[in-house]
Amino acid sequence: MHFEEFSREHLPGLVRFAAVLTGDRDLAQDVVQDALVRAHQRWRRVSATDRPDLYLRKMVVNGYLSWRRRWYQRSVRPADDVTRLREVATPDPALRIADADQLAVLLAGLSRPQQAAIVLRFYEDRDDGEIAEVLGCAVGTVRSHISRGLAILRGRMTMEVA
């Protein structure tokens, strides 16, 4: 059996085995990947064994045990400046989702033309003429939609703060 066929057939079982062994699906995938890389390098010898699947499981176990030893033996050094660790390096995607949810709730109380006008103005940065063209109405109507919609939103925001 070729390595590609073997790995396709046994990968799901190896990952399940490693996940039970490690208790961590991500670590399990890493351990299995390392074992498969090592097995590929010496596939002729591995495939010559009576049970290559058991040999791979042994490699997974050994990889997990050596990972545990490396983790236990690694040294942890304190950082010189811990204040920089408090700074967020990348924005939290949960905040973007929360903001989107809050925006959806706020816009839900507006009429559809008001919603469209406000989104076109403040999300897509369109001018009154472009919004009027998209909505199929006069420029004055666009200004009215935006003005009334913002008034409603301001009122809601004031009520939420109070």
Domain membership of residue 52 (yes or no) is yes
In this predicted structure, the answer to whether residue 162 has a pLDDT above a threshold of 70 is: no
In this predicted structure, the answer to whether residue 89 has a pLDDT above a threshold of 70 is: no
**φ and ψ at residue 161, rounded to 5 degrees:** -70, -35
| CATH at 112 | 1.10.10.10
CB burial of residue 18 (10 Å; 0-12, 13-18, 19+) = buried
Ranges 84-88, 92-96, 112-116, 142-146, most confident: 142-146
Q: What is the pLDDT of residues 107-152, one digit of tens each?
A: 778 888 898 888 788 877 889 999 998 889 999 999 999 999 999 9
Q: What is the pLDDT of residues 25-83, one digit of tens each?
A: 888 899 999 999 999 999 999 999 998 988 898 898 888 888 755 554 444 555 566 56
pLDDT value of residue 91: 65
Report the domain count for the chain.
2
Same-domain check for residues 9 and 68 = yes
Domain membership of residue 82 (yes or no) is no
Domain membership of residue 19 (yes or no) is yes
Q: Are 126 and 120 in contact (CB under 8 A)?
A: yes
Q: What is the pTM of this model?
A: 0.44
| Measured distance CA(146)–CA(135) in Å, rounded | 12
- Single out the residue in 73, 91, 120 at which a domain terminates: 73
HEC assignment per residue over the chain: CCHHHHHHHHHHHHHHHHHHHHCCHHHHHHHHHHHHHHHHHCHHHHHCCCCHHHHHHHHHHHHHHHHHHHHHHCCCCCCCCCHHHHCCCCCCHHHHHHHHHHHHHHHHCCCHHHHHHHHHHHCCCCCHHHHHHHHCCCHHHHHHHHHHHHHHHHHHHHHHHC
Domain membership of residue 99 (yes or no) is no
| Measured distance CA(129)–CA(8) in Å, rounded | 58
Domain range enclosing 120: 106-161
pLDDT value of residue 85: 55
